[in-house]
Copies of this chain bind each other. A is one copy, B any other.
C-alpha cells in the first residue's frame, strides 16, 4: 500500500525546502526579506477588484471548458495590439499558467518522450513533466554571458528521435534574460527543420526594460502550426491568487486535444474569469506604471549588488528576477545560514538557491535567484542586510 512511483519521484519545490528555516527565524522574531519568490506585492488593478465587489450573479454555474468567449475575445484584442492576429478559438483558458503547462505537456508527448529546455528553468516544469512522464533534456546556459542561447548546433545535438518540442521562456524566469529576435530565429529554424513543436512561456511579456520589445514566438508565421504559448494573468496583472491562465495555439489538432483535457476538469474558476476580463479590458497604459515600478527596483537591485567582490551578475532585461553567481562554495548552505545563523538589526534575507532551477547535477551550486518583488525602500534595506550577511559568511566559511 505505497504511493505511486510518480509521487515518490516528483521533487518537492526547492524554494519550499527552506521554509522550515524561515519559519524558525520568524518564530525568533527575525524579519525576513523575501527575495526568494516571485509573488508581487503590487495590488491587483482596481477593475479586477471591482468585478468582485460588484458581483451580481446569484448562480455560480459551470462555464465552458475552454473559458468564457468574452474573455477569449478580450485576449485576442490584447494580442492584436501587438500585431498578433488570433481567433478566440485559438485561446483556451486554464486554471493558472500551471494548468496551461500541464495540459501542454500532456498533449506534447507520452511516457519517455523528451522536451528540450534551456537551463536554468522554472522549477514547476519538472512537476508537470513528471505528471506526463516527459523527460526534460536541459540545454545548459551560463551566467557568464547572461544566459544567452547557444549556437544552433548545441540545440541540435540534444535532439533525439524522442524529442517532441523545445520550450523557451522569455522574458525568462529565473534569469531575467529576454531573447533577441535573432536568438528566437535560431531556434525557430531548428524547430522547422527537425519537425518539432515550439512552446513559449511568455507570462512576463509586459516586463521588459530599457526600451526592449518582447518578440513572441507567435510572430513567426512559417511555424504557426508548431507553436504553443502558455500564458497567465498572475504576473501580467498582479493576480497570482486568481489562477487564470491560458494556452494559445493555431494548431487545430493540438487545440482539440487540449479541449478534451479541459473538459475532464469541467471549467476554470468563473468569477475569476470575469476578473480577468476586466483586466484585459484595461488600456495598455496600465502597464507603464507597473513596468516603471519594477524597472526602479531592478536598478536598485543591480546597482546594489554589482560591486560585491566576486559576484557575477548581468543586468536583467525582463521579468523580475536575476540569477547571480556568488563567491560561495555551496549556495544552499549559505541560504540556510542566512536564515538560521544570521541577522542584522533583527532582519535577514531569503534567497532561492539556483540548483533547484537546473536539472544537470552540480550546476548552479554557487548561484542564487533573486526576485525584486518588494518595494524600493524594502529592497534597499534587504540588499544592505544581504551584503552584511555575505561578508560575515565569507569571514566564517570563505
Give residues in A with beta carbon < 8 Å to B: 1-8, 10-13, 16, 37, 39-44, 48-49, 52-55, 58-63, 95-96, 98-99, 102, 106-111, 113, 124, 126-128, 130-133, 195-197, 225-226, 238-243, 253-254, 257, 260-261, 263-272, 275
Contacts and interface: CB of A to CB of B under 8 A. Distances in A.
A223 to B, nearest CB: 10
A241 B64 CA distance: 10
Contact of A59 (B1, B41, B267): B41
**Which 4 A-B pairs give the minimum distances between C-beta atoms?**
A127-B264, A241-B270, A7-B257, A43-B58
Given A3-B254, A195-B1, A254-B3, A10 B261 contact: yes
A44 B3 CA distance: 37
A243 B264 contact: no
Q: How many copies does the complex hold?
A: 2
A123 to B, nearest CB: 9
A161 to B, nearest CB: 13
A52 B8 CA distance: 38
Nearest to A237: B60
B4 A127 contact: no
A357 B22 CA distance: 49
B41 A265 contact: no
11 contacts: A1-B196, A6-B107, A6-B132, A7-B106, A12-B263, A39-B62, A40-B61, A95-B265, A98-B266, A102-B265, A243-B266
Contacts of A132: 4, 6
A57 to B, nearest CB: 8
A63 B239 CA distance: 12
B39 A60 contact: no
A222 to B, nearest CB: 14
Given A10-B261, A261-B127, A4 B106 contact: yes
Contacts of A195: 1
Given A1-B197, A10-B264, A16-B263, A63 B98 contact: no
